[in-house]
Structure 1
Amino acid sequence: MKFEELPNELLLDLFEFCDPIQLIRSFQHLNTRFNQLLFVRFCSYRLDFRSISKANFHLMCEEYLPLIIDNVSSLCLSDGEETPQLSQHLIPYCLTLDEFTRLRSLLIQNIDTPSTLLNITLDCFYLPYLTHLKFIKCHFTSNTSPNELFVNIWNLKQLTHCTLDIIFEHAFNSATFSIISKSIEYLSIKNFTFSSTELAYLLHSVPSLRHLFIEFGQPINTELFRLPSVELLTSLKIHFDGSVCSLTHILKSMPNLLYLTFETETINLNGNQWKQILIDYVPQIKRFRFLMKVLSIKNNNVEEQLDDVLNTFRTPFWLDEHQWFVRCDWPQHSKKLFLLYTLPYCFGDIHVIHQNQWSKTTGPNTCDYNSYDRVMNVFYNGRIGNLTLSPIVYPNVRHLTLRVSVDNYFWTIIPTLDHLLSLEIIEIRGNSQSKSYLKVLLNRAPRLKYLSIDPTSCLQLVQMNISHPSLCRIRLKSYCTRMNRYLNAEQCSILANSLLGRQCEVLTIRIDDRSIILDLVRNMCNLRALNCECQNEFWANHVTFSSDDELVVWLRSSLPDKYSISRHRSCLVQLWISR
């Protein structure tokens, strides 16, 4: 085979792009050379278990992982709806994180149990090469203080990059950051709003910090705690909910700042005021990005006042010295909310597309930076009616939320859905035009994997024999005020036997009887994860979920032992299916 004539170095590079399971299946035992490459030479196995099937997870842990565990460089674990309780399923295989001795990067997602998070961080002590640690959408909500978790993380001697997207029930204090980490250089903490006191404790504990992302908020009349000077910090991204005084207080502690990204809804600064702050407190600044969502504008002569504000960003400091251009939008639906931001636009987890009644930029060409290619998560409500003030396009949308109220401007604003991965429908009108529009939408999104839609609309789609080659995850949204919240056996049968139902791998659904769960598992041949709420069990189990959870016990007795069945804190029963 000509493939075997390739040098080892090139084969190892190609292995980087292959799924580990498929890679081993394809080349294991082919010959001595490939076995040597797979199990000795290749040291960059990247294992992502966030969407693995239970059968493949079992195969990996039982047969493959013992052969490659010393060569795994990156690992992703999740207890999310696709792999419920996955972190606990490593235990029967006598696998703990400390076995991955060459691990450099670890991502933990959707874990809600404090004891599990603590155990994970304890295991990290035994990973001498771990430099990147990331927690995504986790919860630390119990009577347990977060102090122990932070002490464990801060004690990791080689850790340089740390992301903590964790919801904490308790506030931080001096004991939280009692340990000094000399290795952490990149730190991101989400879902927690720091005061100046807490920020001081944090900055003191990470003296080598170079890049920081936090949320800050403090009442205007509260005394500011003295912040230590962070000499090495060059990059700050901050969501700010405080006063101008607290802003200058923070910037004063970061004298060598080069890159500042700033988002606020609480302060209003014009170009002259920003210029003075930057010159006084961060004189070495190279790149400055901001988004202000509040401007103090009087009711009379609004457009003239907005022009005056924008003119303060047309000085040589902004246009010539730095070439920082600014745009101001006055949304149609608002009389008091104005958006002022730098270009190119680079803010927000969810970007709401709005109709403007006034919009101008300081750029030399009004069409410059009109492609918001960094925006990937968009909400579109179908109210755009005048593109002369909104000639903005979004070419790289990954996640789209919309109301299907058809207008003529959607495809002008969002010209392509080639990158779209998930689609959430807030509202769909019960007419043929809306259904046809949604069908076109699906056809023009070749990479779409996830659809969130209300049950009635979903049933209408499947009865139209709509199919999609990559769509494999469906969430049927609940509406408490509507009659269609729970589906009956007939409706579920229609879904299960449809084109979309037969290819569905992950389903979230609300049903009116427990027996439907067995029917869905039996009839949906590709289903690997089912998350369901059963109407007649919901109120009986919403307070506490213990080992005597009656529905879970019944399901375990009715389904094969190799299925994993558990109750999530959201009250959904989660099935991880192994066929």
Structure 2
Amino acid sequence: MMNNRSFQFEFLPNEILIILFEYFDIRDLYRLFFNINTRFNNLLLSLKHLSLTISNSNQTLNEYDKILISYINKLIIQNKINIDFTCFSHIHSLILLHPTFQQIKQLNKDILPCLKYLAIRNMHLLSSNDLPAIFDKIFSNDCSYLQYCYLSNMTTISRRREWIQMTSLRFLEVGHINLFVYKYILSLCPNLYSFKFIISTETEIPSDIKSHLNIKRLTLKNDFFGHSWNDHVIKSYLSYVPNLEQLCMYRHIFSSSVKNCLMNYDWCASLIGSYLPSLRRFSFYLHLIDLNYVDIDNILFQLVENFRSHRNTRCQSCFVIQRSQMQKLLSPKFLM
């Protein structure tokens, strides 16, 4: 029989404790576990991936918190509050859930010299006049040290001035971009490894995009209610990333359009065969928006069989269908 001591939290091995501790806010972590014993103290002081969440401007740092600041790796700001980032100069990760322009302005090497990971969500809540300035800020000398950048997917990337080359950037996830912005980002981010974005409807396709040889993962999504899915456009996106190893596609479609649009679709098999010789994994996520008057079950079975018949034997393939009711999509809870 297992000894009862093994069920006590303090007898867990360090490896498990380290994993568990990373889910705690740093203030809760130290208040709960510091000074239990010497082992816990040493373990807490050795952690390198602790986070601090600030949800309102009244959460001022007391003297005890200020001692912990040097151990914070990730800072999460939950609301629209004015905060001075100068006391968090050592953080590597910053997440802004409801960004303000005052927060964005502080993104620079002097204030946050160690920042590698940046995520800005809900950018659509900002003034539309501020958005180009924010994108210009991200793609400037102020943020040239970033390795990972997530910008809210409910915005369209635009700029007012020239952007600089981002040689450190490896992972980029953004909202809507067209082929011209795609071309521009490829040229500025030579070491980009993973790129996720929403494709926009094209009226003109540039012909002078230089191939990007370092991108290994690409995720393409179409506009939720738009008609931006066009294989001629998809071809342009894929033809400039010949060393791609993982391709993921998300497509939204109404059930009334499935039969006409997808019954004879080859699921990009010809494009993959022509432009992606190194592809190892292909995933296609179909988000089906159900309209009550359309009987779709039999058609979905045919779609699955059609996908299997066009599957490229050179790479692993995955086909996922998600169904949603139109009424639920339009509910206030869903749209928040």
Q: What TM-score range do you get, normalising by the shorter chain?
A: 0.7 to 0.9
Counting only pairs closer than 5 Å after superposition, residues 89-128 of structure 1 correspond to structure 2 as 90=83, 96-111=84-99, 113-119=100-106, 121-122=107-108, 125-128=110-113
Deviations 1:354-411 (A, max 9, x none): 9xxxxxxxxxxxxxxxxxxxxxxx9599xxxxxxxxxxxxxxxxxxx89xxxxxxxxx
| 1:230 and 2:230 aligned | no
Match of 2:31 among 20, 25, 28: 25
Answer yes or no: is the 8 Å Cα contact 1:118–1:149 preserved in 2. Answer: no
Q: Is the 8 A contact 1:140 1:167 kept in 2?
A: no
Contact 2:195 2:218 in 1 (8 A): yes
**Separation in 2, partners of 1:10, 1:224:** 52
Check whether the contact 1:105–1:133 (CA below 8 A) recurs between aligned residues. yes
Q: Retained in 2: the 8 A contact 1:151–1:179?
A: no
The DSSP-based 3-state class of the residue aligned with 1:146 is helix
C-alpha distance in structure 2 between counterparts of 1:17 and 1:185, whole Å: 25
State the aligned residue count. Answer: 307
The within-5 A match list for 1:87-166 is 87-88=81-82, 90=83, 96-111=84-99, 113-119=100-106, 121-122=107-108, 125-138=110-123, 139-144=125-130, 146-147=132-133, 149-152=135-138, 154-155=140-141, 156-165=143-152
Q: SS of the residue aligned with 1:64?
A: helix
Query: For residues 545-572 of structure 1, what are the alpha-carbon distances to aligned partners after superposition, in whole Å with 9 as ceiling and x for unaligned?
Result: xxxxxxxxxxxxxxxxxxxxxxxxxxxx
Structure 2 CA distance for partners of 1:279 and 1:29, relative to 1, 3 Å: closer
1:188 corresponds to which residue? 173
**Alpha carbons 1:140, 1:146 under 8 Å: kept:** no
Instruction: Please tell me the residue identity of whatever aligns with 1:213.
Output: K
One-letter identity of the residue aligned with 1:64: Y
Higher Rg of the two aligned structures: 1
Which residue is equivalent to 2:292? none
Q: 1:144 to 1:32 in 2, by over 3 A?
A: same
Give the 3 Å change call, closer, same or farther, for CA 163–304 of structure 1 in structure 2: closer
- SS of residue in 2 equivalent to 1:189: strand
| Aligned residue among 232, 236, 250 for 1:263 | 250
**Cross-structure match for 1:359:** none
The change in CA–CA distance for 1:286 and 1:65 in structure 2 (over 3 A counts) is same
Shift of 1:62: 1.4
* SS of residue in 2 equivalent to 1:197: helix
Q: C-alpha separation between the residues in 2 aligned to 1:9 and 1:243?
A: 52
Partner residue of 2:67?
67
Q: Residue 311 of structure 2 is aligned with which of 304, 309, 318?
A: 318
Counterpart position of 1:549: none
Which residue among 205, 209, 225 is the counterpart of 2:188? 205
Q: 1:46 matched to which residue of 2?
A: 51
Q: 1:320 to 1:185 in 2, by over 3 A?
A: closer
2:27 and 2:65 in contact (8 A); partners too:
no
Residues 70 and 284 of structure 1: CA distance in aligned 2, closer, same or farther (over 3 Å): same
User: Partner of 2:118: helix, strand, or coil?
Assistant: strand
1:352 alignment partner in structure 2: 324
Letter in 1 for 2:214: L
Shift in CA distance, 140/36, structure 1 to aligned 2, threshold 3 Å: same
Unaligned runs of 5+ in 1: 80-84, 91-95, 295-301, 326-341, 355-377, 382-400, 403-423, 426-451, 453-579
Q: 1:163 Cα shift?
A: 0.4
Identity of aligned residues (%): 21
Q: Deviations over 1:416-463 (max 9, x none)?
A: xxxxxxxx69xxxxxxxxxxxxxxxxxxxxxxxxxx9xxxxxxxxxxx
Does the 8 Å contact 1:270/1:313 carry over to 2? Answer: no
For normalisation by structure 2, the TM-score amounts to 0.73
C-alpha distance in 1 between matches for 2:101 and 2:153:
11
Q: Does the 8 A contact of 2:249 with 2:284 survive in 1?
A: yes
Q: Deviations over 1:72-111 (max 9, x none)?
A: 01111021xxxxx4x32x4xxxxx3232233121110112
Code of the residue aligned with 1:352 in structure 2: it is S
Q: Residues 93 and 118 of structure 2 are in contact (CA less than 8 Å); yes or no, is this contact kept in structure 1? A: yes
User: Partner of 2:277 in structure 1?
Assistant: 283
